[in-house]
Homo-oligomer: A and B are copies of this chain.
């Protein structure tokens, strides 16, 4: 379920074949004419309904009159990684990330800062959870997202493809400004509270911390945002794939 005009617009633009139904209230159908046209073009069923019906279909109080139901587009790991190392890109691995808002923010950051793919382990929140979809604001449809694969397999796949594995962890010995971000790399993000399990941490080539001056720590979304921005900056903000 994708809610709100911006999310539905991005869905129809980037994954039109996946859209099954688009629900609109009468005022929304009048306001978002381009959405109605895009929905018709995609072959999705267009359904007008009341705001009460929309609200009952979702857990948001204000769905802005637009909602789409789509079939998840699952990308195999090898396909998501194909060509990324050759183009000098980077990817993001979410292992044991449980909070939908955090997962959504990391996916939004991965999109904004030009990551080539997001790989979500089977122990993480489902990225098609409506709360994740909402907090990505359409970013979920901008780049390949792999899901449901064990974290161990994700890391082995990245290593086999030629990525350096960088764990993002506040206890890391390498400070972000000193991290090698020039080579193709995979950022590995762990659980909000307890980080990465040892068996994944041990596979990483480096453990990188965002330096902080005061405060106990950053939250996962903040640390990930800073790390992903650093990757983009190290590549002069170019699109790698």
Interface-lining segment among A59-67, A69-77, A151-159, A205-213? A205-213
Report the minimal beta-carbon distance from A193 to chain B, rounded to whole angstroms.
12
Complex Cα distance A221/B6, Å? 19
A105 and B219 contact, Cβ closer than 8 Å, known pairs A225-B225, A225-B226: yes
Binary interface profile of A, 105-134, with partner B (CB < 8 Å = 1, else 0)?
100110111100000000000000000000
Residue of B nearest to A210 (CB): B229
Q: How many copies does the complex hold?
A: 2
A112 and B142 contact, Cβ closer than 8 Å, known pairs A226-B225, A226-B229: no
Complex Cα distance A212/B239, Å? 10
How extensive is the interface on chain A, given as a class?
20 to 34
A residues engaging B (CB < 8 A)? 6, 105, 108-109, 111-114, 137-139, 142-143, 177, 210-219, 221-222, 225-226, 229, 232-233, 237-239
Chain B residues within an 8 Å CB radius of A112: 212-215, 217-218, 222
Residue of B nearest to A235 (CB): B213
Instruction: List 9 other contacts, CB 8 Å, given A6-B216, A105-B221, A211-B233.
Output: A105-B222, A108-B218, A112-B214, A112-B218, A137-B216, A143-B214, A221-B222, A222-B225, A226-B229
B213 pairs with A239, CB closer than 8 A? yes
The 9 closest A-B pairs by CB, nearest first: A114-B213, A112-B215, A111-B215, A112-B212, A211-B237, A222-B225, A226-B229, A111-B214, A225-B225
Chain B residues within an 8 Å CB radius of A108: 215, 218-219, 222
B109 pairs with A222, CB closer than 8 A? yes
A238 pairs with B218, CB closer than 8 A? no
Residue of B nearest to A222 (CB): B225
Chain B residues within an 8 Å CB radius of A215: 108, 111-112, 137-139, 142
Residue of B nearest to A213 (CB): B114
A177 and B233 contact, Cβ closer than 8 Å, known pairs A214-B143, A215-B111: yes
In-complex Cβ contact of A213 among B177, B225, B238 (8 A)? B238
Report the minimal beta-carbon distance from A142 to chain B, rounded to whole angstroms.
6
